[in-house]
Amino acid sequence: MKRLLRVLLFVTSSGAFGVTPSEIVSINSHAIVYLEVENSAGEMVTHGSGFIVSQDGYVLTVNHVKPLAGQQLVAVIGQKSGTKFPVTFRDADENSDIALWQLPQSATCRYSVAVSDKEVKVLDRVVALGFPENEGLAPSPISITNTTSQLGFYKADGLLSPGNSGGPVFNEGGFAIALIEGGGIPGSQNNDLIPIAPAIALLKKHSVRAGFDKPVIFADSCYASCRARENGIESWGSQTEWHDSTGWMDGGSDPVRECDKLMAARLVGHPDSEIELFPGTKGRDEDSKKDVLGHVSYMYKCGGTLRSGPIYVQKQSPGCGLWQ
């Protein structure tokens, strides 16, 4: 269901800030990575943040968070402590301080952050997401103060910790529009943000199947297998005959409408049940009679199969969540 929520929030954002900071964390927490450079003894040398941009595990971060000879870069997904995955270097734009890495291939499909290079304006409210020093994954609501700095960065108010370096910066629509620079280039400040455009160019150069201005749509094979309502009904736990009638009524009523009313009344409080009418007059029929004055009254009779306890089809679908 989380994937459905993710798409819904992108499409139906409301309020002053379309997607709130807490929603950004909820939607994207499984796509943010804690990055750590380790020496040959497995000791941390430096650390930063990054974010997954495709189901096959491509990761964007800053180029200054990188290993030297005899070191390696490892990633922990969604938290600081957990399984460490060695990542493979794919490419970098050194002028923009952006690097592209990739997680090991997995039988599962990765959650990913959608990106957008739509215009960013001064006073735009944005949310930076990453792993500040001595903290876990945390959002930092900030505002854009300058989009034309000398080094080509966006400037933002507030101080972002160096541990945030490489993390994504989200706009009000929930798309990543920049990376947190966080230092590492002479003359930069901790509130410098790298525009997403050179990162998008790097992704397109390598034909990365990222979400550009829209969420990544998962293939059915990415989802776990379960019995979910949207999978359709395979069979029913119970099937019994159902019969009901209206009692005597004045003429002018519609048998179809009267049977619909009777079925609706029977199904109140039973949202997982259904009635299928029998074919022909066995499903809908009527009797009539005249009184002493010649007025005709009608009784509408309905019959069908009452089914309850649906057993849904077992298959991979969005309602099951991503396969873990």
Q: Residue 6 is part of a domain; what is its CATH number?
A: 2.40.10.120
Tokens linked to 152 = 């080509």
Regarding whether 56 and 31 lie in a shared domain, the answer is: yes
How far is Cα 279 from Cα 214, in angstroms, rounded to an integer? 47
Per-chain mean pLDDT for the chain:
88
Number of domains in the chain: 2
The reply to whether 72 falls in a domain is yes
Regarding whether 273 and 170 lie in a shared domain, the answer is: no
pLDDT tens string 100-146: 999 998 867 888 999 999 999 998 989 999 998 888 998 988 889 99
The reply to whether 214 falls in a domain is yes
pLDDT tens string 260-312: 999 999 999 999 999 999 999 999 999 999 999 889 999 999 999 999 999 99
pLDDT at 190 (0 to 100): 53
Domain ends where: 189, 218, 247?
A: 218
pLDDT at 272 (0 to 100): 93
Regarding whether 254 and 205 lie in a shared domain, the answer is: no
Regarding whether 154 and 202 lie in a shared domain, the answer is: yes
Regarding whether 35 and 159 lie in a shared domain, the answer is: yes
Regarding whether 165 and 93 lie in a shared domain, the answer is: yes
Question: CB neighbours of 49 closer than 8 A, spacing ≥ 6?
Answer: 32, 33, 34, 35, 61, 129, 130, 131, 163, 164, 165, 166, 167, 180
Domain ends where: 218, 248, 276?
A: 218
pLDDT at 184 (0 to 100): 40
The reply to whether 322 falls in a domain is no
Query: Which of 43-47, 197-201, 251-255 is predicted least confidently?
Result: 251-255
The reply to whether 320 falls in a domain is no
pLDDT at 320 (0 to 100): 84
The reply to whether 224 falls in a domain is no
Which residue segment(s) compose the domain that 115 sits in? 2-218
Q: Are strands 98-102 and 58-62 parallel, antiparallel or unpaired?
A: antiparallel
Domain ends where: 198, 218, 238?
A: 218
The reply to whether 321 falls in a domain is no
Distances (CA, A) of 157 to 118, 152, 153: 20, 16, 13
Residue 95, pLDDT above cutoff 60: yes
Instruction: Look at the block and give the residue holding tokens 């900030």.
Output: 142
Confidence of residue 152 (pLDDT cuts 50, 70, 90): confident
Regarding whether 234 and 122 lie in a shared domain, the answer is: no
Which of the two residues, 185 and 311, has the higher pLDDT score? 311
The reply to whether 248 falls in a domain is yes
Say whether pTM exceeds 0.85: no
CB-based burial of residue 19 (10 Å sphere; 0-12 exposed, 13-18 middle, 19+ buried)?
A: buried
Regarding whether 115 and 194 lie in a shared domain, the answer is: yes
Regarding whether 155 and 36 lie in a shared domain, the answer is: yes
Dihedral sign computed on CA atoms, order 141, 145, 149, 154: positive
Confidence of residue 183 (pLDDT cuts 50, 70, 90): very low
Asked if 313 and 99 touch (Cβ cutoff 8 Å), the reply is no
pLDDT tens string 154-182: 988 877 888 899 999 999 899 999 999 97
Query: Which of 79-88, 134-143, 196-205, 228-237 is predicted least confidently?
Result: 134-143
Give the number of other Cβ atoms within 10 Å of residue 108's Cβ: 14
Give the number of other Cβ atoms within 10 Å of residue 224's Cβ: 15
Regarding whether 190 and 238 lie in a shared domain, the answer is: no
Helix (H) or strand (E) holding 288: strand 284-290
Instruction: Look at the block and give the residue holding tokens 């749509």.
Output: 217
Query: Which of 30-39, 133-142, 215-224 is predicted least confidently?
Result: 215-224
High-pLDDT (> 70) share of the chain, %: 91
Which of the two residues, 5 and 313, has the higher pLDDT score? 313
Asked if 165 and 48 touch (Cβ cutoff 8 Å), the reply is yes
Q: For the CA atoms of the chain, what is the radius of gyration? A: 29
Regarding whether 236 and 208 lie in a shared domain, the answer is: no
Secondary structure class of 29 (helix, strand, coil): helix
Regarding whether 191 and 306 lie in a shared domain, the answer is: no
The reply to whether 324 falls in a domain is no
